[in-house]
Structure 1
Amino acid sequence: MAHDDVDPDDSSDRLTIGRRIRARRLERGMSLRELAAALDRAPSQLSVIENGRRDLRLGELRRIARVLDVAEEDLLRQEPPSRRAALEIALEKAQAGALYQGLDLPDLPVRRSLSDAAIETILRLHDELGRLHHERAATPEEARRVNGQLREEQARSGNYYPELEATAQELLARIDHTGGPLSHRKVSLLAAELGFTLHSVADLPHSTRSITDAENMRIYLPRERSTTDPRTTVLQAIAAHVLGEKEPADYGDLLRQRVEVNYLASAMLLPEAGAVQFLRAAKTQRELSVEDLRDEFSVSYEIAAHRFTNLVTRHLELPVHFLKTHFSGAIVKAYQNDEVRFPTDALGAVEGQIVCRWWSARQVFTSEDRMSPYCQYTDKPGGTYWCTSHIESGPGGEFSISVGTRFEHTRWFRGRETTRRFASSCPDPDCCRQAEPAQEQRWQGSVWPVARLHASLLAAMPSGTFTGVDRVAMLEFLDRHAPQEQPTDQALPH
């Protein structure tokens, strides 16, 4: 666009300007040809302006305004000059959109013979098609596609976000936290430093872990004890506030927000400087272990494994991968900074895919020793990997948390002396997905299992911008708990 062009926000502004020019021309009783002659322009040149099909230069706008005896500002106003003009603009925008273009329909000229009622009907049909298209897109298939794209972005960055590490450092500095485990008291101090009060309630909606009321600067937490560390819950709420998270526009936006919030909360529980110093010392002694990192900072094994993945590739030049796997073998979370080949679907997503039964992530469930770290080597199509796994329990059952690396890097890890070794040829079906021929023959035609089929496999993603949250219950909860007077401080529950 030239420096003297009128600067509309989008094509709808050009349409509005064009319709305002046309409306003023008709008010003056001028034909298109007469106005074009007064401007020393061809009628076709003026027609494309009135139809919003090209940008209008400021000098042209001034000449048109002068001939039509109207202020420039009047032609630039955002409001359509009439209801008919508003309908025509909306129809033009709809036809220019991706949804209409994808229908492979011919353009519908906006003529006087096209009644207002006809345009309104077309626009309503277009809106309904848009609603159905959006609902169809918000399916598990779309969720897997977006999840796969996000995982690729994370892999390119080594699952390390320097800007979030810096934010965590700034927040901890506000409460003079210099190192070591972040206590419950310091989490409460940080909330107070940011202007929040903490409130444990018995009626928090079942679909939420916490609710933040930014108007009254309150963070609501569940009163009952759960498997989730309350420090994590508070820090996630603080992280969302500090990052200025808004209601997500789509599922991809929601996933990215969750990644950022969880990362920042973990970075406050295990600050980069202290964690890296601890890990470097362990590497020097060839004693790297997730267990020691967990114990040093008093966090869950999963958070320690996640931070281990964030930091060792960036600072210790050790490419690793992370897996959270359900007892059934389905992947819940997966991050990789190395070349390991996770099972993926056609869209590149790994969540929900079944891990090979010979991998450490599933073999750990066969171990009777739940206290000692479980380690094993696995020969995979892409090379030999060493992995350590640990089992944690949650509301959904038992999960294994695994961190692995290629064979050549195992000399830095405790547990490298393990003699456990398995071979995996997955995704080759002969590896572990097919029963023995004799078994197949023995039971052929005699078995009819009833599958545990989750409704979410068939349904669209839950409606609303915060997927899975009952918005009605959440807003009713806020109405019940909105303070009538200045709130008082309340300590973080232990």
Structure 2
Amino acid sequence: MTPQASDLMTLGHRIRHFRTERGLTLDQLGSQSGLAGSQLSLIENGRREPKLSLLQDLAAALGVELAELLSREAPNKRAALEIELARAQKNPLYGALGLPIVKVTKGMPLPAIESLLGLHRELSRRASEAIATPEEARRANTELRERMRDEGNYLPSIEQLAEDRVRASGHTVGALTHREVSVMAEQLGFSLIYVNDLPNSTRSVTDLVNGRIYLPPASIPGGHGLRSMALQAIGHRLLQHERPSSYAEFLWQRLEINYFAAAALMPRDASLAFLSNAKRERELSVEDFRDAFGVTHEAAALRLTNLATSHLDMTLHFLRVNGDGALQKGYENDGLPLPVDVTGSIEGQYVCKQWSARSAFTHTNRTTEFYQYTDTPAGTFWSATQTGATPAGEFSISVGVPFAQAKWFRGRETTQRSVSTCPDESCCRRPDGAMASRWAGRAWPSARLHAHVLSPLPSGTFPGVDDTEVYEFLEAHAQE
């Protein structure tokens, strides 16, 4: 084993251990190895990498085998702690604090070393909680989806909170107005301020000192987005959120504020009156629900999932699928077999090409919903799909139910039908045999790398948010 294959700090501690065990000083061992004591000190402190020939001389002088000298194990408990502390103090996490390096001396008590090391371990633990690797994010998303499925995607306490606040704003009928949202903020002691220089990593910023909620310019297209962003910021205050201590808690808080915003824009009682009447008329439609409350198609579809099981006595599924077929968001409590990876996560998995969530992209008339029945190994499902586009590309929004419940929806009479046998790869993932034999080994595609798959979410007080940008923004506007 060469010196490069061994940790220099561990090597230095092992040399010092054997030297002191034999009662030798630095100068005595150095003279036996043809080395000055000061140079040997650098080696023992891990600051110089010795040549192999010198290591052989040192091993001979100490009376140990070279392999024993180069072992990766610390020679004793104290040495192990000293090595760990030295590494911790070289960590950029500690360096960012601007604190001095503590030099461990021979006379430093062991409890002092253990105490310092405990602080470093806790610093590292807290930092790791503020960052989420893709694997951690997927696990947290999966746990959250399963939790909401168990709850029927319904949170009664937030439903009631939204109902109370909307009524207190003076709202009676129709879509919630910008003025009524402003009143809701004012009742909490906040004013809504529209600015052009929000930090890039934020959707809104709340100044808790001066009672301001900063939002994007009021002139941006579409009113729903601004109302929703303001309501989400209000939701944080009403729900008494503290700084999230983990990525899972951050996700839960985000779900709660999104739920509150949706429940305020589409209040429970008014929504149920509208949806229940549509069900009696067998004319349930996400399109109509969307238009009645002045929200986006996706918001209306998600809100339907909140109310359908608890109040309309039906199970259902919701899908948001990218133009390439990858599932971006999904919910089901009707047995639809969503694609999952080995961890149980659905995000980024490709849905079957036979499902309307993908076949709708080929539909010529995209101004209205596309209706389809799909036979699957879990039964037949009816679905309504609306397509849309953003600068990032196309997407589709689907809401569907088992065959027996299609009778409540507009579009149930569609003759569009397909058959899906996924997850059997022969359904849509395995190429045709003849075509595969023609091209196997004769194609070399250059895959597009999705950088977010490799990168952890940025750390900070709130994941993905640049604290410096936020504080500079607040500092600039606090003087206004």
Q: TM bucket by the smaller chain?
A: 0.7 to 0.9
Q: C-alpha displacement at 1:445, in angstroms?
A: 2.5
Instruction: Please tell me whether residue 419 in structure 1 is matched to residue 415 in structure 2.
Output: yes
Q: Partner of 2:228 in structure 1?
A: 232
Equivalent of 1:170 in 135, 152, 164:
164
Equivalent of 2:132 in 123, 135, 138:
138
Correspondences of 1:238-257 after superposition (within 5 Å):
238-257=234-253
Specify the code of the residue in structure 2 equivalent to 1:433.
R
Instruction: Please tell me whether residue 390 in structure 1 is matched to residue 416 in structure 2.
Output: no
Q: Conserved in 1, the CA contact under 8 Å of 2:129 and 2:245?
A: no
Q: C-alpha displacement at 1:342, in angstroms?
A: 0.7
Q: State how far apart, in whole Å, the 2-side matches of 1:115 and 1:219 are.
A: 51
Q: Return closer, same or farther for 1:270/1:127 CA change in 2, 3 Å cut-off.
A: closer
Instruction: Please tell me whether residue 190 in structure 1 is matched to residue 223 in structure 2.
Output: no
Q: C-alpha displacement at 1:337, in angstroms?
A: 2.5
What CA RMSD, in Å, does the superposition of the two structures yield over aligned residues? 2.3
Q: C-alpha displacement at 1:211, in angstroms?
A: 0.8
Specify the code of the residue in structure 1 equivalent to 2:143.
Q
Q: State how far apart, in whole Å, the 2-side matches of 1:117 and 1:165 are.
A: 53
Q: C-alpha displacement at 1:448, in angstroms?
A: 2.2
Kindly provide the CA deviation profile for residues 372-413 of structure 1, in whole angstroms up to 9, marking residues without a partner as x: 220000011100000001012234222111100000111111
Correspondences of 1:227-306 after superposition (within 5 Å):
229-306=225-302
Equivalent of 1:378 in 374, 378, 387:
374
Equivalent of 1:200 in 194, 197, 218:
194
Q: State how far apart, in whole Å, the 1-side matches of 2:180 and 2:129 are.
A: 44
Equivalent of 1:217 in 211, 218, 230:
211
Q: State how far apart, in whole Å, the 2-side matches of 1:163 and 1:202 are.
A: 35
Specify the code of the residue in structure 2 equivalent to 1:209.
R
Kindly provide the CA deviation profile for residues 391-440 of structure 1, in whole angstroms up to 9, marking residues without a partner as x: 12234222111100000111111100001111111111111111112222
Q: SS state of the match for residue 140, structure 2?
A: helix
- Which of 326-335 and 190-199 deviates more? 190-199
Q: SS state of the match for residue 422, structure 1?
A: strand
Q: Return closer, same or farther for 1:134/1:313 CA change in 2, 3 Å cut-off.
A: closer
Q: C-alpha displacement at 1:248, in angstroms?
A: 0.9
Kindly provide the CA deviation profile for residues 436-467 of structure 1, in whole angstroms up to 9, marking residues without a partner as x: 12222222233222222122211222112422
Specify the code of the residue in structure 1 equivalent to 2:138.
R
Q: Conserved in 1, the CA contact under 8 Å of 2:318 and 2:399?
A: yes
Q: Return closer, same or farther for 1:120/1:315 CA change in 2, 3 Å cut-off.
A: closer
Q: Conserved in 1, the CA contact under 8 Å of 2:461 and 2:467?
A: no
Instruction: Please tell me whether residue 335 in structure 1 is matched to residue 331 in structure 2.
Output: yes
Specify the code of the residue in structure 2 equivalent to 1:267.
A
Q: Conserved in 1, the CA contact under 8 Å of 2:308 and 2:314?
A: yes
Q: Conserved in 2, the CA contact under 8 Å of 1:250 and 1:465?
A: no
Q: Return closer, same or farther for 1:456/1:437 CA change in 2, 3 Å cut-off.
A: same
Equivalent of 1:153 in 130, 147, 152:
147
Specify the code of the residue in structure 2 equivalent to 1:155.
R
Q: Conserved in 2, the CA contact under 8 Å of 1:323 and 1:361?
A: yes
Q: Partner of 1:181 in structure 2?
A: 175
Q: SS state of the match for residue 231, structure 2?
A: helix
Q: Partner of 1:18 in structure 2?
A: none
Q: Return closer, same or farther for 1:119/1:403 CA change in 2, 3 Å cut-off.
A: same
Q: C-alpha displacement at 1:217, in angstroms?
A: 0.9
Q: C-alpha displacement at 1:468, in angstroms?
A: 1.8
Kindly provide the CA deviation profile for residues 225-247 of structure 1, in whole angstroms up to 9, marking residues without a partner as x: 25662111111111111111121
Q: SS state of the match for residue 358, structure 2?
A: helix
Q: State how far apart, in whole Å, the 1-side matches of 2:449 and 2:355 are.
A: 25
Q: C-alpha displacement at 1:319, in angstroms?
A: 0.7
Give runs of ≥4 in structure 1 deviating > 4 Å: 124-135
Q: Partner of 1:480 in structure 2?
A: 476
Q: Partner of 1:325 in structure 2?
A: 321
Kindly provide the CA deviation profile for residues 88-109 of structure 1, in whole angstroms up to 9, marking residues without a partner as x: xxx9xxxxxxxxxxxxxxxxxx
- The alignment covers a number of residue pairs equal to 374
Q: State how far apart, in whole Å, the 2-side matches of 1:310 and 1:267 are.
A: 9
Specify the code of the residue in structure 1 equivalent to 2:184.
L
Q: Return closer, same or farther for 1:358/1:149 CA change in 2, 3 Å cut-off.
A: same
Q: Conserved in 2, the CA contact under 8 Å of 1:343 and 1:427?
A: yes
Q: Conserved in 2, the CA contact under 8 Å of 1:179 and 1:271?
A: no
Q: State how far apart, in whole Å, the 2-side matches of 1:420 and 1:375 are.
A: 7
Correspondences of 1:397-412 after superposition (within 5 Å):
397-412=393-408
Q: State how far apart, in whole Å, the 1-side matches of 2:305 and 2:397 are.
A: 12
> TM (normalized to structure 1)?
0.72
Q: SS state of the match for residue 403, structure 1?
A: strand
Kindly provide the CA deviation profile for residues 218-269 of structure 1, in whole angstroms up to 9, marking residues without a partner as x: 1111126256621111111111111111211111001101110000000000
Q: State how far apart, in whole Å, the 2-side matches of 1:127 and 1:153 are.
A: 30
Q: C-alpha displacement at 1:118, in angstroms?
A: 4.1
Q: Conserved in 2, the CA contact under 8 Å of 1:198 and 1:219?
A: yes
Q: Conserved in 1, the CA contact under 8 Å of 2:175 and 2:265?
A: yes
Q: Return closer, same or farther for 1:280/1:134 CA change in 2, 3 Å cut-off.
A: closer
Specify the code of the residue in structure 2 equivalent to 1:218.
R
Q: Return closer, same or farther for 1:465/1:344 CA change in 2, 3 Å cut-off.
A: farther
Kindly provide the CA deviation profile for residues 87-144 of structure 1, in whole angstroms up to 9, marking residues without a partner as x: 9xxx9xxxxxxxxxxxxxxxxxxxx995355435654674587479768x83111111
Q: Using the aligned pairs only, state the percent identity.
A: 47
Q: Conserved in 2, the CA contact under 8 Å of 1:197 and 1:219?
A: yes
Q: Conserved in 2, the CA contact under 8 Å of 1:158 and 1:336?
A: no
Q: SS state of the match for residue 306, structure 1?
A: helix
Q: SS state of the match for residue 229, structure 1?
A: helix
Specify the code of the residue in structure 2 equivalent to 1:380.
T
Structure 1, unmatched stretches of 5+, are: 1-86, 92-111, 485-494
Q: Return closer, same or farther for 1:309/1:218 CA change in 2, 3 Å cut-off.
A: same
Instruction: Please tell me whether residue 456 in structure 1 is matched to residue 452 in structure 2.
Output: yes
Kindly provide the CA deviation profile for residues 140-198 of structure 1, in whole angstroms up to 9, marking residues without a partner as x: 11111111111111001100111001000110121121222111222222222222112
Q: SS state of the match for residue 259, structure 2?
A: helix
Q: SS state of the match for residue 154, structure 2?
A: coil
Equivalent of 1:435 in 428, 431, 434:
431
Specify the code of the residue in structure 1 equivalent to 2:205.
I
Structure 2, unmatched stretches of 5+, are: 1-80, 86-106
